[in-house]
Amino acid sequence: MTGADTVAPPDVDLVDAALALLADRPLVVLTGAGLSTDSGIPDYRGPGSTARTPMTYQELVSGPAAQQRYWARSHLGWGRMERAEPNAGHRALAALDPTLLITQNVDGLHEAAGSRRLVALHGRIADVVCLGCRATTSRAALHERLEAANPGWGERHAAVESRPDGDVDLDDPALYADFVVPGCGGCGGVLKPDVVFFGENVPKPRVERCYAAVDALASSGGALLVAGSSLTVMSGFRFVRHAVKAGTPVVIINRGLTRGDDLATLKLDVGCSAFLGALAAGAGFPRSTGEV
């Protein structure tokens, strides 16, 4: 299910209240995977999603077998994710140009839509880092190396289901037992997407910049808007708690329950694209089309 699906009409008064609360205020916006579902990228915990446990950093560095499993699946997923385009929600946020856009997503779609003041909290999957020499290269270049080392791999597994963050449903080890994983072109070391895995910490400078932007809302009469995140992961939820502690209004737009529902000034179970489009345009919410 995506933010554009037809469901029961939202509470009209609640939607109007949220739009009025956010209008003409300084905003910090925190986005999650639900913002990218309208671009065809599955989320982790939204309606219709299946609970998955991503590979942890500790698993990835445990040895060649785990690295083979990760890159075999990620190679297929990247070929799909790189074709994704920004949706109306991404474009609306670029037009809103908040004080700071904090995204937990690694897909790069906010940047592609034109957002300028942005912190990619968990990094970008379009970059690859060597765990040995720390050299950074492009994922596109690695994709070409993986294709050359594994000819026909994508065609043989074209029917596998996509998962969040460029992963795919390829769990049987027999299916990737022959997958070849190249090392760093410079030192031969282990390669990893330049994203924050479970088990890693978000780099401190990113966190400090986000906290500073949330702090500034309290003195400027601003608000924190959460769009498309269940806030299950502490890396994003901490900014909600920080804003609430400072007395800053918090509005959450998300399909389904979130960890921050009890803290929010207003919580709306509506589609991100439609709501953000209305906010950016200073217009009413599109109720007549059923796009909620």
Q: Identify whether residues 243 and 289 lie together within a single domain.
A: yes
Residue 47 in 3-state DSSP?
coil
- Of the candidate ranges 40-44, 125-129, 282-286, the one whose mean pLDDT is the lowest: 282-286
Q: What is the pLDDT of residues 245-277, one digit of tens each?
A: 999 999 999 999 999 999 999 999 999 999 999
Q: Identify whether residues 111 and 237 lie together within a single domain.
A: yes
pTM, entire model: 0.87
Residue 137 in 3-state DSSP?
strand
Domain boundary among 195, 224, 247: 195
Q: Identify whether residues 238 and 278 lie together within a single domain.
A: yes
d(CA 51, CA 234): 18
The answer to whether position 64 is within a domain reads yes
The answer to whether position 220 is within a domain reads yes
**What pLDDT does 7 receive?**
44
**What pLDDT does 55 receive?**
85
Q: What is the pLDDT of residues 133-158, one digit of tens each?
A: 999 999 999 999 999 999 987 777 76
pLDDT surpasses 90 at 102: yes
Q: What CATH code is carried by the domain that includes residue 62?
A: 3.30.1600
Number of structural domains (the chain) is 2
- Enter the DSSP assignment of 62: T
**What pLDDT does 286 receive?**
63
**What pLDDT does 13 receive?**
83
The answer to whether position 175 is within a domain reads yes
The answer to whether position 106 is within a domain reads yes
Query: Which of the pair, 286 or 14, is modelled with greater confidence?
Result: 14
pLDDT surpasses 60 at 186: yes
Q: Identify whether residues 284 and 206 lie together within a single domain.
A: yes
Average pLDDT score, the chain:
87
Q: Identify whether residues 140 and 248 lie together within a single domain.
A: no
- Are 228 and 35 a contacting pair, CB within 8 Å? yes
- Enter the DSSP assignment of 55: P
Single out the catalytic residue among 75, 110, 122, 242: 122
Q: Identify whether residues 114 and 140 lie together within a single domain.
A: no
d(CA 247, CA 130): 42
Domain boundary among 162, 178, 195: 195
Q: What is the pLDDT of residues 196-215, one digit of tens each?
A: 998 899 999 999 999 999 99
Question: Is the dihedral angle over the CA atoms 275, 281, 282, 285 positive or is it negative?
Answer: negative
The residue segments making up the domain with residue 254 are: 1-41+86-122+201-292
Among 131, 103, 139, CA closest to 30: 103
Q: Identify whether residues 72 and 94 lie together within a single domain.
A: no
Residue 122 appears among annotated catalytic residues:
yes
**What pLDDT does 290 receive?**
43
Q: Identify whether residues 116 and 62 lie together within a single domain.
A: no
Q: What CATH code is carried by the domain that includes residue 93?
A: 3.40.50.1220
Q: Identify whether residues 286 and 258 lie together within a single domain.
A: yes
pLDDT surpasses 80 at 161: no
Q: Identify whether residues 240 and 133 lie together within a single domain.
A: no
Instruction: For residue 97, give Cα distances in angstroms to 130, 262, 276, 287.
Output: 34, 28, 12, 25
Q: Identify whether residues 115 and 146 lie together within a single domain.
A: no
Q: Identify whether residues 71 and 96 lie together within a single domain.
A: no
The answer to whether position 46 is within a domain reads no
Q: What is the pLDDT of residues 34-69, one digit of tens each?
A: 999 999 887 654 444 444 567 899 999 999 999 998
Residues in CB range of 106: below 8 A, 6 or more apart:
120, 122, 123, 124, 125, 165, 166, 193, 195
Domain boundary among 146, 175, 195: 195
